[in-house]
């Protein structure tokens, strides 16, 4: 029966025999969870006189926060940028499959597409919590089409847009509703971008800078107006230069507003970014690092031809190429965040995934 009816009817789960990273060391201790929140054991014992309803033996495994991926374009044959009458079926399928990788929540990501695609797809995607049905959906990440043609990467140039109408009107015309949109990636050097950054930030939408040829001053201006993220640092932007480090310079800029942090995504697959570049970024700004997969339809599938929005992607070994061109790989690295949990072995392979303290996937029954 629930242990603390005076406080909550919810049961308490105690994870025992687990190792938790504290102060850069793995320390063996227990973890107490109620309603998806980690409890202070002293408060539980002395103030509430509580006890565990359920004990989970972690058998010496590493206990880590559940993985959050802010940039997944699709996977297992599902492409979130492909219009259909049941987009949620594809998202639900991917959400269930990625539990085995320790992902407890994610942002379905749409790459540059024609307006008709956004108008059909976006109304079907709703933010929701995770559980036995799959990882939670935090909201949609819209990567484009308001990006630089010079740094378009795998985005089709014919669908790129500028802010011709002066700002938010262009977004409304292109996307339709911004309900359940969490992140928008744009190029801050585009004329009219400042008012868009301000308006999106005021609405609680994270503005991410990427696919851009912005110089440092333009990037800093965007941050001054509310931008707070960088899409796949180093990729699809001007390379670092000592006279003008461009968007990369935000990691050490002295023009970041007090109390604000600029976070940056990185695709840590050893292909998109050399491990040395990853180390440089982390040492310059460790608190801002967010590992993302940028996973595509081909994740979990064998080599061959797959889609990425309006493009055809060919997988060859560990690499993916736009038919006839180059870059991108579907990997499986994620950023950590509480309160969901994963159990890892010493090689950091996922053994079990928990959402709100409930086991939703396990390598063994």
pLDDT digits (tens, 9 = 90+) for 102-121: 999 999 999 999 999 999 99
Return the DSSP state at 302: -
Q: What is the pLDDT of residue 5?
A: 52
**Shared domain check, 86 and 33:** no
**Residue 328: predicted pLDDT:** 29
Residue among 218, 219, 237 nearest 229 (CA): 219
Residues near 270 by Cβ (< 8 Å), separated by ≥ 6? none
Residue 210: how many CB atoms within 10 A of its CB? 27
Asked if residue 225 belongs to a known ligand binding site, the reply is: no
- Give the active site residues: 294
Same domain, 178 and 253: yes
CB-facing half-sphere around the CA of 18: CA atoms within 13 A: 23
Same domain (yes/no): 109, 90:
yes
pLDDT at 315: 53
CATH code, domain with 305: 3.20.20.140
Question: In terms of Cα–Cα distance, which of 8, 17, 12, 15 is closest to 341?
Answer: 15
**57 and 98 in a common domain:** no
Residues 49 and 136 in one domain: no
Is residue 61 domain-shared with residue 102, that is, in the same domain?
A: no
Assigned token pair, 337: 């965040």
CATH of the domain at 34: 2.30.40.10
Whether residues 116 and 26 share a domain: the answer is: no
Which class for 64: exposed (0-12), middle (13-18), buried (19 or more C-beta within 10 A)? buried
Spans in the chain with pLDDT lower than 70: 1-7, 296-338, 365
**Whole-structure pTM value:** 0.86
**101 annotated as belonging to a binding site for a ligand:** no
Is residue 142 within 8 Å of residue 84, measured between CB atoms?
no
Instruction: Give the model confidence (pLDDT) of 153-174 as tens digits.
Output: 889 999 999 998 878 999 999 9
Give the per-residue pLDDT at 77: 84
Query: In 3D, which of 24, 2, 36 has the Cα closest to residue 355?
Result: 36
How many structural domains compose the chain? 2
189 is in an annotated binding site: no
Q: Return the pLDDT at 331.
A: 28
Q: Which domain holds residue 53?
A: 13-65+342-362
Do 170 and 317 fall into the same domain? yes
In a domain, 256, yes or no: yes
Nearest to 205 by CA among 228, 187, 231: 228
Tokens of 7: 């406080």
Question: Per the domain annotation, does 337 fall within a domain?
Answer: no
Contact 231, 185 (CB under 8 A): yes
Q: Report the SS3 class of residue 17.
A: strand
């Amino acid at each position: 029966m629930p242990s603390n009816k005076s406080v909550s009817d919810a049961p308490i789960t105690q994870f025992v025999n687990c190792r938790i990273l504290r102060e850069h060391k793995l320390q063996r201790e227990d973890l107490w969870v109620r309603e998806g929140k980690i409890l202070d054991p002293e408060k539980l014992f002395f103030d509430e006189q509580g006890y565990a309803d359920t004990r989970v033996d972690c058998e010496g495994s590493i206990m880590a926060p559940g993985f959050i991926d802010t940039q997944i374009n699709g996977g297992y044959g599902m492409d979130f940028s492909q219009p259909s009458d049941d987009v949620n079926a594809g998202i639900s399928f991917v959400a269930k499959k990625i539990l085995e990788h320790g992902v407890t929540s994610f942002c379905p990501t749409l790459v540059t597409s024609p307006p008709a695609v956004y108008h059909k797809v976006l109304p079907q995607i709703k933010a929701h919590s995770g559980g036995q049905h799959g990882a939670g959906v935090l909201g949609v990440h819209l990567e484009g089409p308001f990006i630089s043609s010079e740094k378009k990467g795998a985005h089709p140039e014919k669908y790129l847009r500028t802010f011709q109408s002066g700002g938010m009107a262009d977004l409304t015309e292109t996307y339709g509703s911004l309900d359940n949109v969490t992140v928008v990636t744009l190029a801050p050097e585009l004329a009219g971008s400042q008012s868009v950054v301000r308006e999106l930030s005021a609405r609680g939408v994270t503005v991410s800078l990427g696919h851009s040829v912005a110089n440092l001053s333009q990037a800093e201006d965007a941050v001054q107006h509310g931008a707070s993220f960088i899409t796949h640092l180093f990729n699809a932007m001007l390379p670092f230069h000592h006279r003008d480090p461009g968007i990369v310079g935000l990691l050490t800029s002295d023009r970041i507003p007090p109390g604000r942090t600029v976070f940056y995504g990185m695709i840590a697959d050893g292909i998109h970014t050399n491990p040395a570049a990853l180390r440089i970024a982390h040492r310059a700004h460790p608190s801002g690092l967010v590992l993302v997969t940028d996973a595509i339809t081909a994740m979990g599938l064998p080599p061959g031809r797959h889609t990425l929005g309006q493009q055809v992607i060919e997988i060859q070994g560990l690499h993916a190429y736009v038919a006839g061109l180059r870059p991108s790989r579907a990997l499986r690295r994620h950023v950590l965040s509480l309160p969901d949990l994963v159990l890892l072995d010493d090689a950091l392979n996922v053994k079990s995934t928990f959402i709100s303290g409930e086991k939703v996937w396990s390598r063994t029954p």
